[in-house]
Amino acid sequence: MSSAPVLQLAGVHKTFGQTAIIRGVDLDLVAGERHALIGPNGAGKSTLFNLISGRLHATAGTIRLRGADITRATPQAINRMGLARSFQVTNLFHRMTVFENLRCGALRSRGGGYAFWRRVDGVAEANARADEVLDAIGLARRREATAGELTYAEQRALEIGVTIACGADVILLDEPTAGMSRSESAAAVALIRKVTAGKTLVMVEHDMDVVFGLADRVSVLVYGEVIATGAPDAIHANARVQEAYLGTGLAQAGAAETAHA
């Protein structure tokens, strides 16, 4: 893995008031890899996503996307540079239809812009892309339903759809399978595998089956620090990880998962 990193975090810190939540994260993402970010609740995984995607700004350190400094950039600027993210808590345009949600996702990158002098139905590429994603996420039957009236699993699928609709090649997914049943989760993993083919993916995930089945590399975040990064097997074998996380947290998480299922 010698190619230049697509996404590069160097010495990233984030404090809320007095509390340090992210405490010096260094992370390099290679083009095309599927990277899982794991860690106990409250470790700062979502906060890290917020920092990368511009929702929050780092207190110290730098974040680079294909070499460009995005540490202080706005979410919309970062999105237009080709990085898209989904949310842990579903975050849709709830009064608009499924198709409209996807088209809004695709519009900016497909030439729609802020135009008020042309019909949105005439932005052919955005419409084609929205329908393409609609098929990919399996919601074609629900095309005209409003996002607010979808089932939970459907909303999660749409959440991924809106994220990928712009065609970004760096994608951050925050717990895409959280709250799903086993079969829904399996379907979601298949969906993620399909729609992120050839792209760089970072995914927060609690389900270890999903992590070890999908990821090329895994990073473990504990109390705002990455304590290990590596191939899934290496992570599994890593003593520090076992001590800090796998030994207790993961075993419990695994037990909880089994109990849940």
Partner 1 sequence: MKGRPHLVAALPALACLVALPFVFPQGFALSLMCQMGIATIFALSYNMLLGQTGLLSFGHAVYFGLGAFCAMHVLRWAGGSGGGGAWVVIALPLVGGLGGLIAGIVLGAITTRRAGTIFAMISLGVGEMVASVAPMFPALFGGEAGLNANRVFGAPLFGITFGPQRQVYYLIVAWALLAAWGMHALTRTPLGRMANAARDNPERAQFVGYHPQMVRFLMLALSGFFAGIAGGLSAINYEIVTGESLGAHTSALVLLMAFIGGIGQFYGPIIGAVLVTFLQTALSQYTHAWLFYFGLFFLFMVLEAPGGIASLVQLHREPWRQGLLRWVWPQYALAALPVALTLAGLIGVVELVYRVAGGVEAGETSWKLFGNAIDATRWQPWALALLLFAGGGAWLRRAWSGVAWQWKMVLLATARGKDR
Ligand X SMILES: Nc1ncnc2c1ncn2[C@@H]1O[C@H](COP(=O)(O)OP(=O)(O)OP(=O)(O)O)[C@@H](O)[C@H]1O
Tell me: does residue 75 bind partner 1 (CB under 8 A).
Answer: yes
156 binds ligand X (CB under 6 A): no
Buried residues in 208-217 as b, exposed as e (16+ CB within 10 A): bebbeebbeb
* One-letter amino acid for residue 196 of the chain: T
Regarding 27 and contact with ligand X (CB under 6 A), the answer is no
Contact status: 260 vs partner 1 (CB under 8 A): no
Does 72 sit near partner 1 (CB under 8 A)?
Answer: no
State the DSSP H helix or E strand holding residue 28, giving kind and residue range, or none if neither.
strand 19-29
User: Using CA atoms in the order 206, 209, 214, 217, what is the torsion angle rounded to 10 degrees?
Assistant: 70
- 103 burial (CB, 10 Å; 0-12 / 13-18 / 19+) is buried
Contact segment (CB under 8 A) with partner 1 among 11-19, 39-47, 71-79, 137-145 equals: 71-79
Taking the least distance from each CB to ligand X, the nearer of 5 and 44 is: 44
Closest to partner 1 by CB, 138 or 167: 167
Pick the stretch among 45-53, 75-83, 109-117, 232-240 that binds ligand X (CB under 6 A): 45-53
DSSP, res 120: G
Instruction: Answer whether 37's CB lies under 8 Å from 210's CB.
Output: no
Q: Does 23 bind partner 1 (CB under 8 A)?
A: no
Instruction: Decide if residue 19 touches partner 1 (CB under 8 A).
Output: no
Q: Does 114 bind partner 1 (CB under 8 A)?
A: yes
* Nearest distance from C-beta of residue 174 to ligand X, angstroms: 7
Does 166 interact with partner 1 (rule: CB under 8 A)?
Answer: yes
Residues 67-96 that bind Mg ion (CB under 5 A): 88
State the Cα–Cα distance between residues 163 and 105, nearest whole angstrom.
7
Phi and psi (nearest 5°) for 256? -60, -40
Residue 121 lies near partner 1 (rule: CB under 8 A): yes
> Closer CB to Mg ion, residue 45 or residue 156?
45
Print the binding letters for residues 150-179 with Mg ion: x by CB under 5 A, - otherwise.
------------------------------
Residue 79 to residues 135, 138, 208, Cα–Cα distance (Å): 23, 24, 29
With contact defined as beta carbons under 8 Å apart, do 142 and 84 qualify?
no
Which positions touch ligand X (CB under 6 A)?
16, 21, 39, 41-47, 88
Which positions touch Mg ion (CB under 5 A)?
45-46, 88
